[in-house]
Copies of this chain bind each other. A is one copy, B any other.
Amino acid sequence: MKVRDVAEAAGCSIGSVYNEFGDFDGLILTVNRETVQALTARLKAVPSDDPLRQLHGLADAYLGFATEHANLLRSLFEHRMEDDRPFPEDILAMVMDAFALMHAPLLRLLPDRDPDDVALLSRMMFSAVHGIISLGLEERMVAVPPEQLRERLAQFVDTHLAGLGVTRGA
């Protein structure tokens, strides 16, 4: 993304882009804000009747979003601020909220665990899913072949749940 391209696409001058977004970081962050909102909307649309199906649905929805908007997700997770400026709190909170969406179904599947522990488990599980997907979708690093990604991701979720003591179909 280039400031001049944005200006041309918007049909305005370079200066106007700066009036609107402040600087390049502001431009990127505006995009990232929309990205995390779109991601969250998609994750929240996953049916929540059955917690097990929901967990699979969340992983699958994340995979779908990552497949369709690989570059947007990269911008969200890889962008560094200029001059070590702090990363905006609101985006941080939004990402954390998205990652916490695994909390509710996990809580239902693990009613006897310490809820704080489940909260961390859910973020960790989402981080793991994120890692598998982001490396799997890099064409260059065939950690997990993309065509198997969907199936393997489901397998991973099942395996991890089994390790947590959740018996399938319970």
Contact = CB atoms under 8 A, between A and B. Distances in A.
A156 B95 CA distance: 22
Nearest to A100: B143
Q: Main SS of the interface on chain A? A: helix
A129 B96 CA distance: 19
B144 A120 contact: yes
Nearest to A130: B131
Nearest to A95: B141
A148 interface: yes
Contact of A131 (B87, B132, B164): B132
B92 A141 contact: yes
A128 to B, nearest CB: 4
B140 A120 contact: no
A170 to B, nearest CB: 15
A99 B86 CA distance: 33
A123 interface: yes
Interface in A124-160: 124, 126-132, 134-136, 140-144, 148, 152, 156, 158-160
